[in-house]
């Protein structure tokens, strides 16, 4: 089992960069360098790879792995999404617009909204009530419109047995319909 490490030493960083440089120079896959350094440092190859690519990023462009929402951002997100829903726009389309086309930011907004629905329904209801009080007719996001088309991928059958049972039932229904129509005709 690989050990737990808290960080990389300068020597380990240098060895990693040197191994990657040599692998490129010898036209070998970088994976060979990652595997060799993993063995030397008692780390997992994927951890070595992740560290390598992190080191390649310029420091000024590095974004924090987790950026929490402020209370104001959360309120603005709720209001924007609820108003978009009132205008017939989907959550995905709204959050993509909010993110300026950046899918990573879009997912961050969308996930936050979905998490609020699940973990803080009272906050969502309060935001909706405030919008309604301001004269915006906002639909209840907790009530699905039965007439609205289902978006997303079609549901897959649970298993092959379910598919066979459905086919058998469909065939029986068709046979029954054919028999009743034959009796009505005669």
Q: Give the tens place of pLDDT for each residue, 19-55.
A: 999 999 999 999 999 999 999 999 999 999 989 988 8
| Structure tokens given for 19 | 């191994």
- B/e letters for 68-90, b = 16+ CB within 10 Å, e = fewer, are eeeeeebeebbbbbbebbeeeee
Residue 180 lies in a domain: no
Last-in-domain residue among 19, 43, 61: 61
Task: Write down which residue in 117, 133, 149 finishes a domain.
Answer: 133
Residue 174 falls within a domain, yes or no? no
Please state the domain count of the chain: 2
Nearest to 74 by CA among 29, 116, 19, 14: 116
Identify the band that residue 64 occupies on the pLDDT scale cut at 50, 70 and 90: low
Q: Which structural domain range is residue 75 located in?
A: 71-133
pLDDT digits 0-9 by tens, 130-157: 999 999 999 999 998 777 666 555 656 5
């Amino acid at each position: 089992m690989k050990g737990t490490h808290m960080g990389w030493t300068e020597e380990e960083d240098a060895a990693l960069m040197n191994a990657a440089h040599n692998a490129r120079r010898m036209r070998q896959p970088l994976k060979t360098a990652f595997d060799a350094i993993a063995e030397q440092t008692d780390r997992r190859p994927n951890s070595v790879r992740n560290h390598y690519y992190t080191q390649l990023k310029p420091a000024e462009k590095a974004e924090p792995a987790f950026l929490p929402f402020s209370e104001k951002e959360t309120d603005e997100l709720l209001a924007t999404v609820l108003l978009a829903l009132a205008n017939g726009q989907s959550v995905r389309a709204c959050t993509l617009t909010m993110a300026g086309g950046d899918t990573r930011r879009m997912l961050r907004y969308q996930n936050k909204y979905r998490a609020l629905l699940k973990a803080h329904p009272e906050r969502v209801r309060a935001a909706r009530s405030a919008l309604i009080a301001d004269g915006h007719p906002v639909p209840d996001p907790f009530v699905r419109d039965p007439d609205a088309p289902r978006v997303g991928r079609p549901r897959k059958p649970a298993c092959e047995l379910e598919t066979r049972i459905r086919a058998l039932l469909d065939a029986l229904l068709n046979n029954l319909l054919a028999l009743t129509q034959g009796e009505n005709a005669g």
